Amino acid sequence: MSSTAKRTSSSSSLSSWGNHQSKDNPLCYGDITNQRSGSPPRKLGLGFTLICKFVQPLKFHYCSKKTNQTKPLELLNPSDLGKEDDDDSSNLGEDPQLCGAFTCDIYEHNLRSSEAKKRPAIDYMERVQPNIDATMRAILIDWLVEVAEEFSLPPETLYLAVNCLDRYLSGNVITKLNLQLLGVSCIMISAKYYGRGSVRAPLRQVESFCYITDYTYSRNELLEMESCVLNYLKFELTTPTANCFLSHFVPQGKREEVPSSHLLFESLASYLCELSLLDYAMLRYAPSLVAASAVFLARYVLHPSRKPSWSSTLEHYTRYRAQHLEACVKNLLRLCHESPSGDNVVAVRKKYSKAKYKFAANMFYPSSLPVPQELFL
């Protein structure tokens, strides 16, 4: 695992956090608030050992429409479900795996109606939380991004963990002391939710999650917090996140891109969506709106001169017109140039600066967009 530079706080409200990251172990932050005993920040020396291995993805087989031969279907990435046979890419919407005949009904009457029921409060930081702020939340989620990467957890695990985190914080006061405990409990819950009965997110022992905090929290503390979160959420974990909507929108967006740019387009949209997790202000937008806006901005970055930037196909599948996306798109573009916590939040940009994501974070992002009349028609 590559070494990550120490993070320093640029906010006076975070002065107590200090350099919470170990030089030898970027993920083992210990108590990231450094408030347990009131002592100066500890310098951790425990080396992080990658305890997970890549899991062979489960492969199903379906019958090719033209050759009647079995063909493997990779289930590792949800967005791959939008891919058709190479010789029939024009009929993307006819893939039986996508349930094309029911897509609109599933999307509008299930996903869109469900997202409103399990969204966190958009003002909980001001109304409920006297001990933490948006910067601390950003640093915690940035760390969860690294944990998900090192454990090779699929994207939906991270998104559900953040959803559980925000929903719990919407109704429960948390201290700086227990903020990291809450975060690691949420990603443990999410890993269990997506891992049970599936090889995509293998189950991990509780000790694994204690280890990544350098045993700042005990096994019993972690299990107790897990119980508190689950009981507060009434065990209602099934909820559509921005990643869920993204896996629905991206295959439709690919239909209007040349095959050579499909992976870059998908990586751009994923990068923009993941950046939105860090910014507390983005909670004002519904997950479906964030996903649609990420697709819109990804299309614009790839083809700045294309007019209009939004197509009738995407409008049909997303149920959003271009003018509905304007405010969210501008905020996503702002996040491409600004960090919610300065130099403390770098994990998402590092992740998408790799070749496997086609260096999406290194793309040129304009500082501003054209006037709305030209772009949001």
Instruction: List pLDDT tens digits, range 297-332.
Output: 999 999 988 877 899 989 988 999 999 999 999 999
Q: Compare 22 and 145 and report the one with higher pLDDT.
A: 145
Q: Domain check: are 262 and 340 in the same one?
A: yes
Summarize the chain as % helix, strand, coil (round to 5): 55, 5, 40
Q: Is residue 139 part of a domain?
A: yes
Q: Domain check: are 181 and 310 in the same one?
A: no
Strand partners, 21: none
Using the predicted structure, report yes or no on whether residue 8 has a pLDDT greater than 90.
Answer: no
Among residues 208, 232, 256, the one where a domain terminates is 232
Q: Is residue 313 part of a domain?
A: yes
Q: Domain check: are 260 and 179 in the same one?
A: no
Q: Domain check: are 246 and 210 in the same one?
A: no
With H, G, I as helix, E, B as strand and everything else as coil, classify residue 72: strand
Q: What domain range includes position 225? A: 12-50+117-232
pLDDT score of 336: 93
The closest alpha carbon to 13, from 137, 184, 123, belongs to: 137
pLDDT score of 204: 72
Tell me which of 8-17, 131-140, 296-305, 344-353 is least confident.
8-17
Q: How confident is the model at residue 270 (pLDDT cuts 50, 70, 90)?
A: very high
Residue linked to tokens 């890993």: 191
Q: Domain check: are 290 and 263 in the same one?
A: yes
Q: The pTM is what? A: 0.74
Contact 76, 57 (CB under 8 A): yes
Q: Domain check: are 226 and 285 in the same one?
A: no
Q: Domain check: are 222 and 257 in the same one?
A: no
Q: Is residue 188 part of a domain?
A: yes
Phi, then psi, of 62 in degrees rounded to 5 = -130, 165
Q: Domain check: are 150 and 180 in the same one?
A: yes
User: Six-digit token pair at 83?
Assistant: 């891919």
Q: Domain check: are 143 and 224 in the same one?
A: yes
Using the predicted structure, report yes or no on whether residue 254 has a pLDDT greater than 60.
Answer: yes
How many domains does the chain fold into?
Answer: 2
Using the predicted structure, report yes or no on whether residue 169 has a pLDDT greater than 70.
Answer: yes
Q: What is the mean pLDDT of the chain?
A: 76
pLDDT score of 344: 74
Among residues 174, 205, 232, the one where a domain terminates is 232
Q: Is residue 359 part of a domain?
A: yes
- What is the rounded CA–CA span in Å between residue 372 and residue 322? 10
The closest alpha carbon to 250, from 272, 239, 265, belongs to: 265
Q: Domain check: are 347 and 291 in the same one?
A: yes
Q: Domain check: are 368 and 298 in the same one?
A: yes
| Cβ neighbours of residue 371 closer than 8 Å, sequence gap 6 or more | none
Using the predicted structure, report yes or no on whether residue 338 has a pLDDT greater than 80.
Answer: yes
Strand partners, 74: 59
Q: Domain check: are 364 and 314 in the same one?
A: yes
Contact 187, 37 (CB under 8 A): no
Among residues 182, 205, 232, the one where a domain terminates is 232
CA angle 44, 166, 323 (to 5 degrees): 125
Tell me which of 27-41, 273-287, 301-315, 335-349 is least confident.
27-41
Q: Is residue 86 part of a domain?
A: no
Q: Is residue 57 part of a domain?
A: no
Q: Is residue 89 part of a domain?
A: no
Instruction: Kindly give the residue spans of alpha helices, DSSP state H, lying in 303-356.
Output: 312-318, 322-337, 347-351
- How is residue 7 annotated by DSSP? P
Q: Is residue 107 part of a domain?
A: no
- What is the rounded CA–CA span in Å between residue 120 and residue 140? 17
Q: How confident is the model at residue 224 (pLDDT cuts 50, 70, 90)?
A: very high
The number of residues making up the chain comes to 377
Express as a percent the part of the chain with pLDDT over 70. 67
Peptide linkage before 78 cis (omega within 30 of 0): no
The closest alpha carbon to 333, from 300, 311, 308, 371, belongs to: 300
CA R_g for the chain = 21
User: How many CB atoms sit inside 10 A of residue 70's CB?
Assistant: 11
147: domain CATH number is 1.10.472.10
pLDDT score of 317: 87
- What is the rounded CA–CA span in Å between residue 17 and residue 24? 18
What mean pLDDT do residues 283-287 have? Answer: 96
Q: Compute CA distances 331 → 98, 145, 181, 328, whole Å.
A: 31, 20, 30, 5
Using the predicted structure, report yes or no on whether residue 88 has a pLDDT greater than 50.
Answer: no
In this structure, the strands spanning 59-63 and 70-74 are antiparallel
